[in-house]
Amino acid sequence: MLENLIEVARHGPKLLRAGAINVSLLFALIAVGFLVGTVIAVVQVYGGRPLRAAARGFEWLFRSIPAAVLMMIFLYGPPRIGVGKIDPFLAATLALGLRSAAYQSQIFRGAIQAIPTGQMLAARSMGMGRLRAVASVILPQAFRLSVPGWSNEFSSVIKDTTLAYLVGLNEIMRQAKTVYDGVHMRLAMPTLIFVALCFLVATYAGNYLLGVVERQFRIPGLQMPGSGRTMEHSH
Amino acid sequence: MTFDPAWLPRLAHGLQVTLSVVAASIAIGFGIGILLAIGRVYAPRPIRWLCAAYIQFFRGTPLLVQLMIVYFGLPTWGITLSAFSSAILAFGLNTAAYQAEYFRGAIQAVRGGQMMAARSVGMSFRQAVVLIVLPQALRIVIPSWSNELILMLKYSSIAFAITLLDLMGQAKRIAGREFMYFEIYLVVAAYYLALVFIVSQLLRLLERRVAIPGLGAPGESR
Amino acid sequence: MSPLLRVEELHKRYGSEQVLRGVSFGLEKGETKVIIGPSGTGKSTLLRCINRLTPPDRGRVWLEDVEITHAKAQINRLRAQIGFVFQSFNLFSHLTALGNVRIAPMRVLGLTKEQATRLARAELRRVGLGEKEDAFPAELSGGQQQRVSIARALAMGPKLILFDEPTSALDPELIGEVLEVMVSLAREGMTMLVVTHEMGFARSVADEILFMEHGVIVEQGTPRQMFTQPQHARTGEFLHKISELYGEAAS
Ligand SMILES: Nc1ncnc2c1ncn2[C@@H]1O[C@H](COP(=O)(O)OP(=O)(O)OP(=O)(O)O)[C@@H](O)[C@H]1O
Ligand SMILES: [Mg+2]
C-alpha cells in the first residue's frame, strides 16, 4: 500500500496539471452559464410571449437531457450539420455551460420575482427605460438574492467538470486513468482517492471564496424570503 | 438524417438496464438515506459526525469519481464487481447522501410538538419516529425527493464510462458500428426527454395520492 | 390513603436559569387543581417534569405508589396512564381525528384495530365530535382540535390528565366548547391538573388553586380562600389582574 502511495505521489504534479484543465473549464462554464442564464431569466420575466416560450423551451431541454447526451450532441452535431469539427473543450463548454445556464436562469428568475414590484415602478418613475431599470435596479438586487442558490450551482459545476472525461478531454479523470490503466491497476484506488480529495478541497475552497465575496457585497435587509431553499442538481 | 428502426430493440434493451440501475440505486439510497438522516438528527454525537462525514464525502466529490472508485478502485482491494453492480452500488451510495439531506430537512420540518405528543401518550422513541415523524416527513419530502430521482435518472447515463450497456452504452455501440453518432444521440435525447416527463408525472400523481390537508412542503403548511 | 399524584421538591434549570426551585404538592383521586402564575414562571416545565417529557434535575414524582422519577421506571407505561393536553393541541398532522385517538390504544396498549376504533369513536362522541372522525387536523377549528386531543388523552383510560393552558391558543368564541368538556370531565370524577387563567373554570370546578411564581408555589388554597383572603399580596394582585384580563365567563 505504502509503495503504491509513493508511486501515486510521483504522478501528483501530472494530475494537478490536468486539474488545471478542470479549472479552466469551470471558469468557462460559469461564464457561459452566468451570461446566458441572466439573459434567459430576464427574457422569462420581462420578454414578450414568443420569447418567453423560447426561453422556457431552452430551460426544459437543457434541464431534461442528461449532460452526457448533451456533450455527445455538441461533439458530433457540428461536423454532421456542416459546421465543421469541434474540439472537445468547446463541445464540453457549450453543452455543460448551456446546461448550467438553464439551472442558473431558474435561480435568477426566482430572485427577480422576489423583488417587490415597487422597485421597478420607482425606477420607471424616474424616467429609466425598462432595460435600464432591469440592468441598474433589478439585477443588482437579484444577483445578491441569488447567492445561496448560485453557490449550490457553483459546487455542482465544479464536480461536473469531470464529465468532460466522457468526450475525451484530457482532464484530471483521464490523466488518472493513464496512471492506473493496463499493468498498474493496483494504483487505481490510491489515484482515485487522491482525485476525490482534490475535489473535496476544491469544493471547500470554492465555497469559502464565495462566502467572502458574498460578505463583500451583502446589503443589510436584502435577502431571499424564506431563504435556505436550495436547488441542488448535480452529483 | 437517417434513422434505422433496427436500433430500437437494442435501445429498448439499454432502456431496461437504465431503469433497473436507477430503480435499484434509488431503493438503496432510500434505505441508507433514511438511516443517515435519523442518525444526523437523533443520534449521539460520534454517530452524528460519522453520518455527516459520509454525506460530506459523497456530496463533495464527483459521481464519476465515485463510480470509477467502485469499478476500477475496489479491485485493488480484491473486490471485483460487474459494471452493472458497480453502477448500482456507486449510484446507490451517492444518492443516499443526497436523499439523507432531504429527509433530514423534512424530519426537522415536522413540528417539535409532534414528537412530544407522541411521547406523552406513552409511545417509545422508536414508535414516535416510525409512527408519527416519518409518515409526515416522507410526505413533506416528496417534491425534493422527486427531483433527486429524476437527477439520478439523468446522471445514470455516465455509466457507459465503465462499459455498462444502458441506454447510453447501447447508443455508443450502435454509433461506433454505423458512424451515426449525431443521429443516435438525438434519439437517445428524445428517450430521456420522454422518460423524465413520464417519471415526473408519475411522481406528481403519487404526491397527490398521498396528500393530506395541512401537510405540505415547508412554507406551504399552515 | 396516599394521594394519586405526589410531587416532591422538583427542581429544574435551563442553562443558568433556575426554572423550578422545589415544587411540592399532592393530588387526590378525583380532584381538580388549577395552577396559575405569571408567564415564564415554570408552569409548563412543571407539567412536563411530572411525566418526564422534560427530565427534572432533582426531586421526585409518584403516581400512586410508583415513582415516576425512578431511573428504572417504565416511563412509557407510566405516561400511558397520564393524559397530557397541550396548549398548541399537537394533533398528529397525518392522521384523521379517529386516527389520532386510536393510534396509542393500538400501538401502546395493544388493542386490536376494531377495539381501538370502537373506543376512539366513543371518546370522540364524548367530546361532541362523533361526526368529525374523518377530518384531518387542518380541517378542524382550534376548539375542535383541542377536543380531539382531549379525546386522545381519554382513550388511554388515564388516571389523571395534565392540561397546559388548553384554551389560551383559541379564539375567544371557541374557548367555551373546550371548557365545557373539561367541566363535565371534572364532574365525572376525572383527576385533573390544569394550568389555566380561566378563572370562571377555576371557581366552578377547582378543589384548589396553586399560585406559582419564580419556580415555587407561593400560595395554595380553595378558590374561595384565594379570591377572598389571599395570604400574600402578590396572589391578590395577580388574581385581580387576570380576572380583569380574562373576565369571569364560562362558569
Ligand atoms: N426547552 C427549554 N430550553 C431552555 N429554556 C426553557 C425551555 N423551556 C422553557 N424554558 C425557560 O424556562 C422558563 C419557564 O418556562 P415555562 O414554559 O415553564 O413557563 P410558563 O410558566 O409555562 O410560562 P407561560 O405562561 O408563558 O406558558 C422560561 O423562562 C423559559 O424561557
Ligand atoms: Mg406555559
pLDDT digits (tens, 9 = 90+) for A136-169: 889 988 998 898 888 889 999 999 999 999 998 8
Interface confidence (ipTM) of the complex? 0.90
* Residue B100 to residue A183: CA distance in whole angstroms: 39
CB contact under 8 A, B121 and C152: yes
Q: How many CB atoms lie within 10 A of CB B44?
A: 8
Instruction: Work out the average pLDDT over C184-207.
Output: 94
CATH number of the domain encompassing residue B87: 1.10.3720.10
Q: Is the pLDDT of residue B176 over 90?
A: no
Q: What residue type is assigned to position A131 of the chain?
A: L
* Residue B191 within a domain: yes
Q: How far apart are CA A80 and CA C90, in angstroms?
A: 64
CA distance B70 to A142: 42
Average predicted confidence (pLDDT) for chain A:
87
What is d(CA A21, CA A14) in angstroms, rounded to the nearest whole number? 12
Least confident range of A5-19, B21-35, B131-145, C161-175? A5-19
Q: A25 is in which domain, residue-wise?
A: 2-217
Query: pLDDT tens for residues A109-121?
Result: 999 998 888 888 8
**Is A225 within the bounds of a domain?**
no
The CATH number for A45's domain is 1.10.3720.10
pLDDT of residue C40: 92
pLDDT for res A229? 39
For atom 12 of ligand 1, which residue has the closest CA? C19
Percentage of the residues of chain C whose pLDDT score is greater than 70? 98
Residue B216 within a domain: no
Supply the range of the domain harboring residue B176.
7-210
Segment C171-183 shows an average pLDDT of: 94
Name the average pLDDT for chain C. Answer: 93
What pLDDT shows up at residue A226? 53
pLDDT band at A84 (very low <50, low <70, confident <90, very high): confident
Query: pLDDT category, A228, cuts 50, 70, 90?
Result: very low
Q: Is C16 in the pocket of ligand 1 (CB under 6 A)?
A: no
The pLDDT of residue A100 is above 70: yes
Please state the length of chain A: 235
- C103: nearest CA in chain B? B131
In a domain, B15, yes or no: yes
Looking at the complex, report in whole angstroms how far the Cα of residue B10 sits from the nearest Cα belonging to chain A: 17
Q: Which three cell numbers stand for residue A41?
A: 431569466
User: Is residue C19 within 6 Å of ligand 1 at its C-beta?
Assistant: yes
- The whole-number pLDDT of residue B2 equals 73
Listed residue (A120, B131, B150, A47) closest to C95, CA to CA: B131
pTM, to two decimals: 0.89
**Overall domain count for chain A:** 1
With cut-offs at 50, 70 and 90, classify the pLDDT of residue C1.
Answer: low
User: Poorest-confidence range of B179-183, B216-220, C124-128?
Assistant: B216-220
Does residue A49 fall inside a structural domain?
Answer: yes
Let me know if residue B63 belongs to a domain. yes
For chains A and B, CB pairs below 8 A equal: 126
- pLDDT at B178 (0 to 100): 77
- B90 → chain A, closest CA residue: A235
Mean pLDDT, to the nearest integer, of C236-249? 78
Interface with chain B: mutation pick from C93, C132, C144, highest number of B CBs within 10 Å: C93
pLDDT at B222: 32
| A229 domain-assigned | no
Our answer on whether the CB atom of C42 is closer than 6 Å to any ligand 1 atom is: yes
pLDDT at A232: 47
Q: Which ligand is nearest to the CA of C38?
A: 1
pLDDT in tens, B140-160: 999 999 999 999 999 999 999
- A10 pLDDT more than 90: no
Q: Does the beta carbon of C45 sit less than 6 angstroms from any atom of ligand 1?
A: yes
pLDDT value at position B219?
Answer: 43
A173 and B192 in contact by Cβ < 8 A?
A: no
Average pLDDT for chain B: 91
pLDDT band at C246 (very low <50, low <70, confident <90, very high): confident
Of B56-70, B148-162, B166-180, where does mean pLDDT reach its minimum? B166-180
Q: What is the pLDDT of residues A160-219, one digit of tens each?
A: 999 999 998 889 988 888 888 877 778 888 889 999 999 999 999 988 888 888 888 877
Question: Ligand 2 centre from C45 Cα, in Å?
Answer: 7
Chains C and A lie in contact, requiring 3 or more CB pairs less than 8 Å apart: no
**pLDDT (tens digit, 9 = 90+) per residue, A34-44?**
999 999 999 99
Q: What average pLDDT score do residues B173-190 get?
A: 87
Residue C127's identity, in one-letter code, is V
pLDDT given at position C85: 96
- What mean pLDDT comes out for the span B15-29? 96
Task: Tell me, letter by letter, the H, E, C secondary structure of chain A.
Answer: CHHHHHHHHHHHHHHHHHHHHHHHHHHHHHHHHHHHHHHHHHHHHHCCHHHHHHHHHHHHHHHHCCHHHHHHHHHHHHHHCCCCCCCHHHHHHHHHHHHHHHHHHHHHHHHHHHCCHHHHHHHHHCCCCHHHHHHHHHHHHHHHHCHHHHHHHHHHHHHHHHHHHHHCCCCHHHHHHHHHCHHHHHHHHHHHHHHHHHHHHHHHHHHHHHHHHHHHHCCCCCCCCCCCCCCCCCC
Share of residues in chain A with pLDDT > 90 (%): 45
Nearest protein Cα to ligand 1, atom 2 = C14
Q: Which residue of B has its CA nearest to A191?
A: B73
Q: List residues of chain B with CB under 8 Å from any CB of chain C.
A: 110-111, 113-114, 116-124, 127, 131-132, 135-136, 139, 212-215, 222
Asked, for residue A230, whether it belongs to a domain, the answer is: no
Percent of chain B whose pLDDT exceeds 70: 96
pLDDT reading at C245 higher than 80: no
According to the model, what pLDDT value does residue A85 have?
A: 87
Q: Output the CA C87–ligand 2 centroid distance in Å.
A: 8
| Banded pLDDT at A14 (limits 50, 70, 90) | confident
Tell me the pLDDT band of C248, cut-offs 50, 70 and 90: low
Mutate to test the interface with A, among B21, B65, B140, B155 (most CBs of A within 10 A): B65
- Does residue C39 line the site of ligand 1, with CB under 6 A? yes
pLDDT digits (tens, 9 = 90+) for B23-50: 999 999 999 999 999 999 999 999 999 9
Q: Is residue B64 part of a domain?
A: yes
Question: Bigger pLDDT: B88 or B174?
Answer: B88
- Report the domain count for chain B: 1
